[in-house]
Amino acid sequence: MGEINIKMLALELNLSAATVSRALRDSYEISSETKARVIEMAKKLNYEPNPFASSLRQQKSKTIAVIVPAIANNFFSLAINGIEEVARARDYHVLIYQTHENSEIERSFLMRLSSGRVDGILISLASEEVDKRQLKEVSEKLPVVFFDRVHDDIEGVKITTDDYTSAYNAVQHLIENGCKKIGYLMALNSLSTGEKRLQGYLDALKNNGFPYQPDLIITNSGTVEQNYSLVRNFIAEQKPDGILSSIEDLAMPCYYACKDLKLTIPDDLKLISFSNLAHAELLNPSLTTINQPAFEIGVEAAGILFKIFNNRRYAFNETITLKSNLIKRESSMRAE
Amino acid sequence: MGEINIKMLALELNLSAATVSRALRDSYEISSETKARVIEMAKKLNYEPNPFASSLRQQKSKTIAVIVPAIANNFFSLAINGIEEVARARDYHVLIYQTHENSEIERSFLMRLSSGRVDGILISLASEEVDKRQLKEVSEKLPVVFFDRVHDDIEGVKITTDDYTSAYNAVQHLIENGCKKIGYLMALNSLSTGEKRLQGYLDALKNNGFPYQPDLIITNSGTVEQNYSLVRNFIAEQKPDGILSSIEDLAMPCYYACKDLKLTIPDDLKLISFSNLAHAELLNPSLTTINQPAFEIGVEAAGILFKIFNNRRYAFNETITLKSNLIKRESSMRAE
C-alpha cells in the first residue's frame, strides 16, 4: 500500500482531506467523534503524519530552545546538559530560556519563539498558571516536547519521572525510620508533576494508618525570604518529626530553620527532598534525596524532538516515565 | 560646538571622514599613529561615536545573548539574574548560551550570533584558548561587553572583580590562621582573571616570607573524575595545610578527598574557595568563600550594553572593577 498520506486516509474515511488534516491537528472545528475516527484509522493504517513538512522545506534555524523554570538548579542544568549533548551531535545550537517560574515570562518566550526563531521547543513548565491555549497554538506551529514539569491536560509528548512512587517511597522510608508526624512542602501545585508527588505523600500516610492533617501541608510562597519564614514558622508551630520537600528551594530553608530553632537533623526532624541537589552528600548532615535521572531526561526529550524533525515518529499524546532513585543519607537516618 | 560627529573630527584632524571612521573602528588599514591621533582628538572634543547607528535604524531583535562557561554555577546564575532584571525592564529577551569552557563551542556561538540574531552580547570567556581575532570581528559588528572572565589583550568594556586583592587577602587569612604550606588550585589560567588570582596568591606568600614552591600549584584538568584524582593525589603527596581554590569545581573535590584520606577540615587542612557557592554555609564544615558581587556584575554589564545601544556612552577599552567579599566560615578557622 506504500506510504500512507492524508488523501488516502480521507478516501478510506469518506471525508475531505482538509477535514482529516484538521482532525489530525486536533482543530476545534472538528467534532471529537470525527477526530476519534480519524485517529483510529490513522493508527490502523500506520499513518505517519508530517506536520512540519512545510517548515522543513524552508531553511532551518538549526537551533532548538529549552525553556526551564530556573537554571540555578542541578536537575535542570543536568537535563540541559543532556539536551545539549544530543543537539551537538546533530550540529544544533541550544538556546536556554529561564522563566523564573513566571507564566507571564513563559508566555512571552513562547510567543516570540513561535514566529520561527527555532526549529523546536523543549519545555519544563513554570509552576504558575499554564496558558493551555497558547501552548496548543505554538505546538501546532512547531514541535514541542515537555519534560519533568508537565500538565496532563495539555496534549503532546511528555518525559516525566515516577513522581507518585518516588514520593510514596520517601514517606514510607520516613515512617520506617520512626517518623509519626510528617510534613509536606509543596510546590508545582498547578502541575501534574506536583499533584502526583502530593498524592504519593497522601497515599503513603493513609496506607500506614496516619490521619489526614491539612496543617502538615504547606505551599511555597515566592521569594527566598518568604519561603524561609514559611518553613521556619511551620516547623516551630507544627513540630513535625519528618518532612518531605517537593523542591530543594524548600528543603534548604529547613536546614537554616533547624539551626535557628536549635533542632537537630535527623534526631529532631528527618528530611528528604526532591531532587538532584549538587553536593547533597557534603551538607551537614548529608541530605537524603530523590534523584531524578536528569541527564537521561534531557537526552530522551531531545532525542524525541529530533525524531519528530526527521518525521520518524509523531505521537499525539504520549508520556514516557523514567525512574527516580531514593538516595538515603544522614538526614533521614533512624536514631541509634 | 554642539554634537560632535565624524565629519567635524575629520575636519579638525585634516583627515578624510572614512579614515576617521576606520580608525575609530580600529581597522587594520589604519596605522597605529593615526589611530592614536584620532582617539586623542575624539577624547579632547568629547566625541561620542555611534557605531551601531545603522543597525539601530533596522529592526531590532530586542534580544541580547549571554554567553557563559556554565549555568550550573551560582556565580553565573546570579549574574544572569542581574542581566535578566535589566533586560526585562527594557522589554528585552535574554538568550543564554553555555560553552562548557570549550572555546570551540564559544567560537561557533559567536559566529552564529554575529549574523544579527541579537542586538548585543554579554560574554564571560571560556578558559580555553581565546580567539581574539574572531572576538574583535564580532565586536565590530555588534556591541560586546565582557564580564568576570576577561582577557586584557582584547579591547572592550569589561566588568571584573578585584581578583588580585581577593586572592591576596584569602592567603593572608590562611597564614594568619596558622597555615605554613598553602596550595593553589588553578583554573582559568589562559585568562587575565586567572592570572590575577595566581599573582595575588604568589605575592601574599612572598610578602610573608614563604618560598616559591611550584609543586604547590596545580591546574584543573577537565572532567569531574580527573579533577578528583588530581586534587586527591595533590593532598596525599604534598600534604598542604591550607588551600586556596580559584573555582568551586576544584574546592568540592577537597571535601571528598579529605573524607577519603581521613583528614579533617579545618584541623588538618584549611580551605578557601572562589566564589558564590550556594549553601556554602550548610556544608560540613561550612566553607569560607570569596563572594563576588555576581548579581551586581550582571546588572552593571547589562546596563552598559543598553547604554551602548542608546548611544549614550561608548568606551574603547574600559574596565570596571567591583569588590569581592571574603566570607569567613569554619573551613578556614584557626584551631582552638
- Which member of B78, B255, B282 has the closest CB to residue A252? B282
Which residues in B227-256 are b (16+ Cβ under 10 Å) and which e? bbebbbebbeeeebbbbbbbbbbbbbbbbe
Q: A284 touching B, CB under 8 A?
A: yes
What's residue B314's pLDDT?
56
For residue A211, what is the DSSP state?
Answer: P
Amino acid at B235: I
Question: When comparing pLDDT for B233 and A14, which is higher?
Answer: B233
At the second CATH level, the architecture of A163-293+325-332 is 3-Layer(aba) Sandwich (3.40)
Q: How confident is the model at residue B10, as a pLDDT?
A: 87
Query: Mind telling me how many Å the CA of A312 is from chain B's nearest CA?
Result: 28
Q: In the CATH hierarchy, which top-level class contains the domain B53-160+294-322?
A: alpha beta
Residues of chain B neighbouring A71 (CB-CB closer than 8 A)? 71-72, 77, 80, 96
State the Cα–Cα distance between residues A236 and A218, nearest whole angstrom.
Answer: 13
Backbone angles phi, psi at B301, to 5 degrees: -65, -45
CB-nearest partner of B284 from A94, A278, A284: A284
Could you say which of A96, A279, A285 has the minimum Cβ distance to residue B252? A279
Question: Which residues make beta-bridge pairs with B97?
Answer: B67
Residue A22, φ and ψ in degrees, nearest 5: -65, -40
Whole-number Å distance between alpha carbons of B146 and B156? 7
For residue A62, the one-letter residue type is K
Instruction: Write out pLDDT tens, residues B8-20.
Output: 888 888 888 888 8
User: Residues B238-262: pLDDT tens digits?
Assistant: 999 999 999 999 999 999 999 999 9
A-B CB pairs within 8 A amount to: 77
* Residue recorded with cell 500512507: A4
CB distance from A228 to chain B under 8 Å? no
Q: Show residues of chain A in contact with B286, CB under 8 Å.
A: 284
**Residue B49 pLDDT greater than 60, yes or no:** no
Residue A255: closest C-alpha in chain B: B282
**Cα-based angle B324, B326, B329 (whole degrees, multiple of 5):** 150
CA neighbor of B147 nearest in space, from B278, B302, B276:
B302
pLDDT of residue A179: 98
CB B286 within 8 A of CB B331: yes
Of A283-287, B30-34, B49-53, B211-215, the one with minimum mean pLDDT is: B49-53
Q: Which of chain B's residues have a Cβ under 8 Å away from the Cβ of A70?
A: 77
Q: Is A102 on the interface with B (CB under 8 A)?
A: no
Q: Which residues of B touch A231 (CB under 8 A)?
A: none
Q: Do B80 and A98 touch (CB under 8 A)?
A: yes
Distance CA A160, CA A304 (A): 13
Does residue A109 belong to the interface with chain B, where contact is any CB pair within 8 Å?
Answer: yes
B64 shares contact with chain A (CB less than 8 Å) = no
- Alpha-carbon distance of B31 to B21, in angstroms, equals 13
Higher pLDDT among residues A131 and B68, named by residue: B68
Q: What is the mean pLDDT of residues B138-149?
A: 90
The amino acid present at A150, given as its one-letter code, is V
| Closest CA–CA distance from residue B65 to any residue of chain A (Å) | 9
**Nearest-Cα residue of chain B relative to residue A97:** B95
Contact residues on chain A for B109, CB-CB shorter than 8 A? 93
> Using CB atoms, which residue from A77, A88, A286 is nearest to B72?
A77
Task: Map B68-100 to HEC letters.
Answer: ECCCCCHHHHHHHHHHHHHHHHCCCEEEEEECC
Shortest Cα distance from A58 to chain B (angstroms)?
18
How far is it, in rounded angstroms, from Cα A99 to Cα A154?
Answer: 19
Q: Which CATH architecture has domain B163-292+325-332?
A: 3-Layer(aba) Sandwich (3.40)
Report d(CA A244, CA A168) in Å as an integer. 10
pLDDT at B26 over 90: no
* AA letter at A40: E
pLDDT in 10s for each residue of chain A, 336 residues: 456 788 888 888 888 888 888 787 766 677 878 888 888 888 888 776 553 343 343 457 789 999 999 998 889 999 999 999 999 999 898 999 999 888 889 998 998 888 777 999 999 998 777 888 888 888 888 899 999 999 888 888 999 999 999 999 999 999 999 999 999 999 877 788 999 999 999 999 999 999 999 999 999 877 889 999 999 999 999 999 999 999 999 999 999 999 999 999 999 999 999 999 989 999 999 999 999 999 999 999 999 999 888 875 555 678 999 999 999 999 999 976
- Are residues A279 and B283, on separate chains, in Cβ contact within 8 Å? yes
Domains B53-160+294-322 and B163-292+325-332 share a fold: yes
Nearest CA in chain A to B83: A98
Sheet order of strands, A144-147 included = A318-322, A157-161, A144-147, A120-123, A63-68, A93-98, B93-98, B63-68, B120-123, B144-147, B157-161, B318-322
Query: Backbone phi, then psi, for B183, in 5-degree steps?
Result: -90, 160
Domain extents in chain B? 6-44, 53-160+294-322, 163-292+325-332
SS3 B285: coil
Grid coordinates representing A36 are 476519534
A residues 241-280 near B, CB within 8 Å?
A: 252, 255-256, 278-279
What is the ipTM for the molecules in this complex?
0.76
Model confidence, pTM: 0.79
